[in-house]
Homo-oligomer: A and B are copies of this chain.
Amino acid sequence: MYSLILKNIARHVQLTAEEETYFTSLLVAKRVRKKQFLIVAGEECRYEYFVNKGCLKQYYLDDKGQEHILSFAPEEWWISDMYGFINQQPALTTIEALEDTEVFAIEKSKFEELVQQIPCIERFFRIILQRALVSHQRRIIESMSLGSAGRYKNFVQQYPSLEQRLSQRQIAFYLGVTPESLSRMKAGLVKSH
């Protein structure tokens, strides 16, 4: 049951058997069906989630009701509304299942206790935050330096399996273009090989 999440942690730090047991004792398994919500913008967000199976999307709804996807979270991703989680404020984003999904949730106070108790876990989260930051920086740079075709190509290259798994519409919302534009863009790419 916990093999994937323990493997995920073992990528960066080593836990003893007791630490693993303590860690998993804080997790709560949860299932969300396709189109259901894990976090809704405006509501409080007390959990951080690890995706064990399935796929989620995290998005922001603007004042015109347009959806802007901040990230997809397939297996092995950690996700939360970080703003709401750390500040104990209403979430800014919504997290919704794109498929029937299974997550492990860790409640904020348990999380704080955990990182206090086990320095290795604190290190683990520091490391994955560093990596997340790099990927966000990369995304910002891409949004400024590339046109939509370049952003799409990078997406396909970086996440080939997601490109298969997701609808073109979802990818468009992630890239920051309309589905119509993405459709046209792909037609254009084929012509030029």
A contacts, CB < 8 Å to B: 60, 62, 66, 68, 70, 82-83, 86, 92-93, 115, 119, 122-123, 125-127, 129-134, 136-141, 143-146, 176
Assess whether A62 is in contact with B115, with CB atoms less than 8 Å apart. Answer: no
Task: Check A141–B70 contact: CB distance below 8 A.
Answer: yes
Q: Find A82's partner among B92, B122, B134, B145 (CB 8 Å cutoff).
A: B134
**Assembly of this chain: how many copies?**
2
Decide: B70 and A137 in contact? CB cutoff 8 A: yes
- Interface of A, helix, strand, loop or mixed by DSSP: helix
Closest Cβ of chain B to A98, distance in Å, is 19
- In the complex where A136-B137, A139-B140 touch, is A145 in contact with B68 (Cβ < 8 A)? yes
Which residues of the partner chain B approach A137 to less than 8 Å between Cβ atoms? 70, 82-83, 93, 136
